[in-house]
Amino acid sequence: MKKAFFKIHPLLVAIFPILALRNHNIIYVDLGSISRSLLLALLLAGIIWAVLTVVLKNSDKAGLITSMVMILFFSYGQIYLQFQTAFGFELRHRYLVLIFGAVLIGLSVLIRKLRNAAVLQQVLTVTGAVMVVFAVAQSAAYDINKFFVDAQARNQSKKQFTQLLSTIRRHPNCQTFI
């Protein structure tokens, strides 16, 4: 069980960016809206992981490479924007894809030469788990607070409506104006 837990890092790395983006836009995006994105990210990570496991014949190293693919995939847009901000000109996407490809190939070669991937797996899993837990906690805190604020607003509206009805009943002439 303990060893199996440390192998879920590709899935944690896949779902964290979606949760973080939801938390960044939490006012506009409800929790139900991200279910399709979460499912797609998990499916993509699972497919990449499965294909690499068959190719490499080592699920540990395939999981590490899958985590790197997911990190590069989700960081592409931010790196593109940061490059544009830092250097003042746009880097063409074809060059950035080549750079990302070279980084991915380099990391893959390093991971394949790795003799014991357990420590790196543990670091990625613990880091991913902590990030996902914080993202879920932040999201849950907002959703719970929003639920209570909405309930309080509904109760306040009911009280105001009840007061308006009692005023109308006391003054029958007000009914003609309303």
Q: What is the pLDDT of residues 126-172, one digit of tens each?
A: 999 999 999 999 999 998 888 888 878 777 777 776 776 666 666 65
Q: Is residue 72, in this structure, part of any structural domain at all?
A: yes
Is the pLDDT reported for residue 1 higher than 50? no
How many other C-beta atoms are found inside a 10 Å radius of the C-beta of residue 119? 10
Q: Is residue 151, in this structure, part of any structural domain at all?
A: no
Q: Is residue 153, in this structure, part of any structural domain at all?
A: no
Q: What is the reported pTM?
A: 0.78
Q: Where are the alpha helices (DSSP H) in the chain?
A: 2-5, 9-24, 35-56, 59-87, 93-113, 118-170, 174-177
Exposed / middle / buried, residue 15 (Cβ in 10 Å: 0-12, 13-18, 19+): buried
Predicted pLDDT of residue 155 = 78
The Cα 39–Cα 44 span in angstroms is 9
Q: Is residue 9, in this structure, part of any structural domain at all?
A: yes
Predicted pLDDT of residue 5 = 64
- Mean pLDDT (the chain) is 87
Is the pLDDT reported for residue 177 higher than 60? no
Q: Is residue 178, in this structure, part of any structural domain at all?
A: no
Is the pLDDT reported for residue 20 higher than 60? yes
The Cα 103–Cα 115 span in angstroms is 20
Q: How many domains does the chain fold into? A: 1
Domain that holds residue 100: 2-142
Q: Is residue 173, in this structure, part of any structural domain at all?
A: no
Q: What is the pLDDT of residues 33-87, one digit of tens each?
A: 899 999 999 999 999 999 999 999 999 999 999 999 999 999 999 999 998 899 8
Q: What is the chain's alpha carbon radius of gyration, rounded to the nearest angstrom?
A: 25
The Cα 71–Cα 62 span in angstroms is 14
With CA atoms as reference, report the closest residue to 34 among 136, 124, 137.
136
175 versus 11: the higher-pLDDT residue is: 11
Which residues have a Cβ under 8 Å from the Cβ of 127 and sit 6 or more positions away? none
With CA atoms as reference, report the closest residue to 119 among 64, 48, 51, 58.
64
Q: Is residue 152, in this structure, part of any structural domain at all?
A: no
| Rounded mean pLDDT, 91-118 | 90
Is the pLDDT reported for residue 175 higher than 70? no
